[in-house]
Amino acid sequence: MTDENLHHFRRWVKKPSDCVINALELLGVLQATPADLMRIAVGDSGLSAPKIEETFAYVYPTIRWRFFRYTDIHTLENFCIQGLQPSHVIFCGYNKQGFRHVFLIGKTNTGKVVLIDPQANLFCDLENSDCFENIQDAEEYYILQGTMTTQQQQQLEKIQKQLQNQKQTQTQTHTQQKQMQL
């Protein structure tokens, strides 16, 4: 997610169950016009967890996407504080008395953990109790996590090694050319 996505975000078409679409737009997966068209198409029903996983699988096909369920908010809290890198977000959700909702939790470059929920018009510091109460007391919490298969991980490592070898070869060639010029 970029600062530009945050700055330019506008919900021209507002629907009561457009939280997933808002998050996708903030992540840069959707542009404004297609996002508004999706809001119209989805209407008041929202998107189910399997549809969200399917959407992420389409956008990022090399990764397996799955919602993991947690019943303790401290699991979500620890995941965000310890595992989240600066300038990154986690696609999260909760179930409060049958009401399901998704939002983003991000970490700023300064290390502040923030709640980003355009549907509720929230961008706040989760260390602030007024902000934290917006997501507490749910029966279930969800984090969308992506994993690669062993084969995909091996392919990625192979590609990274090839790129590293190419870079070394280019550096050696450049060094040899410099020496020849001297």
Assess whether 157 and 142 both reside in one domain: no
What is the tens place of the pLDDT at every residue in 36-92? 888 888 878 888 999 999 999 999 888 889 999 988 888 888 877 777 888 889 999
Residues 5-33 have pLDDT tens digits of 777 787 778 888 888 898 899 888 888 88
Confidence of residue 182 (pLDDT cuts 50, 70, 90): low
Is this prediction's pTM over 0.85?
no
> What is the dihedral sign for C-alpha 56, 58, 59, 62?
positive
In a shared domain, residues 118 and 133: yes
Shared domain for 133 and 154, answered yes or no, is no
Same domain? For 50 and 96 the reply is yes
Tokens encoding 73: 């908010």
- Which domain does 176 fall in, by range? 150-182
Q: Are residues 157 and 78 in the same domain?
A: no
Tell me which range, 25-34, 99-108, 151-160, is most confidently predicted by mean pLDDT: 99-108
Residue 55's CATH number = 3.90.70
Q: 172: which residues sit within 8 A by CB, 6+ positions away?
A: none
Q: Is the domain of 161 the same as that of 106?
A: no
| Average pLDDT of the residues of the chain | 85
Q: How many domains does the chain have?
A: 2
Helices 19-26 + 49-59 axis angle, to 10: 20
